[in-house]
Amino acid sequence: MTLGDYRKSPAKPATMLEGVYEKGEEYGFPITPLLVRREAYYTCLAGGFHGYGHNDSWRVRPAWRAALDDPGARQMTVLKECLHRAPRMVDNDPGSNRFQPRLAMFKADALNLAGRSTTGRWLVCYLAANPTSASICPR
């Protein structure tokens, strides 16, 4: 959906505000920091905006303050730092996954994904599928 919105004229913004909530109990499976991180990177590198949530925060449980330091929350800070180091992240071309097709495919529930600037100044990669090697396609 994000890439489709990006390709509209004019491009439309996309958000992921109601993804999984860290330590969410209603999903029927554990919500790990890894799942939270993957969802955030996938959304941002595809050109969208990601909103992080934690079960203890939105339910305003007694542990809500401690939840601010949970692993998923800390990893959102790492994502922010990574994206802020890319000059002009607004130049991200979400349709430019630069991996060879064998690396860009899903492996179980993981996807290797990259975003690059339209100017070619930077490339941000998220390698989720633990490849033994990576090949980047030239422009």
- The model's pLDDT over 75-132, given as tens digits with 9 standing for 90+, comes to 999 988 888 887 777 777 776 665 554 444 444 567 777 888 888 888 888 877 665 5
pLDDT band at 54 (very low <50, low <70, confident <90, very high): very high
Mean pLDDT of the chain: 78
C-alpha distances in angstroms, 42 versus 10, 16, 31, 56, 128?
A: 22, 10, 16, 24, 10
Instruction: Using alpha carbons, list the distances in angstroms from residue 137 to 15, 18, 22, 47, 122.
Output: 28, 33, 35, 20, 14
Q: Residues of the chain with pLDDT > 70: what percent?
A: 79
Looking at residues 47-71, what average pLDDT do you find? 90
Q: Looking at the whole model, is its pTM more than 0.75?
A: yes
